[in-house]
Amino acid sequence: MWSIVSIDNQLGIQLQPAGETERSIAVLRDSHFYGETEAEDCPGVDYHDCYCEDKVGFLSFSGRTKGKKMHETSNSHMPLYKSLSYSTWAAETFITQNTFNDFTTATTACGRQQRIFAVSEYESDFVPVQYFEYTSFNSVH
């Protein structure tokens, strides 16, 4: 994948190369990730009645023996990012020429965590090494 722009996102982006092959590769390049913006998640209401969740720019990529289609055409198990198979040891991830911008605070306006990177709570038993190159961080806490 390339040329993705992710702004003020709850779960960020995550790719899961799938299949029982000798080598399974996920690549993300030339993309931009932005932290929380001035757009309020819950304008005009008290935060205790608000949908206020942690925010992440990038969920670690993973590898699966079975995967989902890039664009689902029918009902899928929810949540969509939940893994439904065990990990493959053949997965490789390459994240190149991406920028992470404006993650200026560790918490959101409503008090939840804001992070650039995270591992999904639904990860299986193996998370492949995340190879980053030519990555820029601008205005980050």
Helix (H) or strand (E) holding 32: strand 32-34
Q: In angstroms, how far is the first alpha carbon of the chain from the final one?
A: 27
Sequence spans of domains, the chain: 1-36+50-141
Dihedral, CA atoms, 126, 74, 41, 11, nearest 10 degrees?
A: 10
User: Is a pLDDT exceeding 90 seen at residue 30?
Assistant: yes
Mean pLDDT (whole number) for 3-19: 86
pLDDT tens for 43-88 read 776 655 677 889 999 998 887 777 666 666 777 666 666 766 777 7
Q: What is the pTM of this model?
A: 0.82
